[in-house]
Amino acid sequence: MAYDRYTAVCHPLLYGPVMRTELCARLVLASWGVASLNATIIVLLAVNLDFCEAQTIHHYTCELPALFPLSCSDISVTVDILLCARLLHGLGTLIPIFSYVRIVSTILSISFTTGRSKAFSTCLFSF
């Protein structure tokens, strides 16, 4: 979605040739793939934890960090893998933020106030 808006605002004449159906499908598949990989990593890390006795989880949702104090196995490798996965996920969310910065700078460089307000309203109402 961020790339779609970036192309529409920063390169409006190239929007049609760039945002083809194939590219949109690839972007959606890449997003689903990364989310599935993230979920698979978390599930595999949780399955490999050992628990010595019956424990009660006092949380509404069972997140992996909530299981760490209840586990009697060594969690240092699990914590490192989870940290790397979260860092990569965080870096992946920073890329769209940079495209939004580019969109705002492009809109601010529009000399006509009517064009600038129209571009801002287009971006704001498409959320």
* Global confidence as pTM: 0.65
Domain count for the chain: 1
pLDDT, position 29 = 93
pLDDT confidence of residue 22: 92
Supply angle C-alpha 33, 36, 41, rounded to 5: 125
Q: Is the pLDDT of residue 127 over 60?
A: no
Alpha helices (H) in the chain, listed in sequence order: 2-10, 15-18, 21-47, 64-67, 76-108, 113-125
Quote the domain boundaries for residue 57: 2-125
The whole-number pLDDT of residue 59 equals: 67
pLDDT tens track for 64-118: 787 888 888 888 888 898 888 888 888 877 877 777 787 788 888 877 777 777 7
Chain centroid, CA 66 distance in Å:
22
Q: How far is CA 113 from CA 61, 102, 118, 121, 126, in A?
A: 48, 18, 8, 12, 20
Average pLDDT value for the chain: 81
Cα-Cα-Cα-Cα dihedral of 91, 31, 83, 49, to 10°? 180
Q: What is the per-residue burial (b if ≥16 Cβ within 10 Å, else e) of 65-101?
A: eebeeebeeebeebeeebeebeeeeeeeeeeeeebee
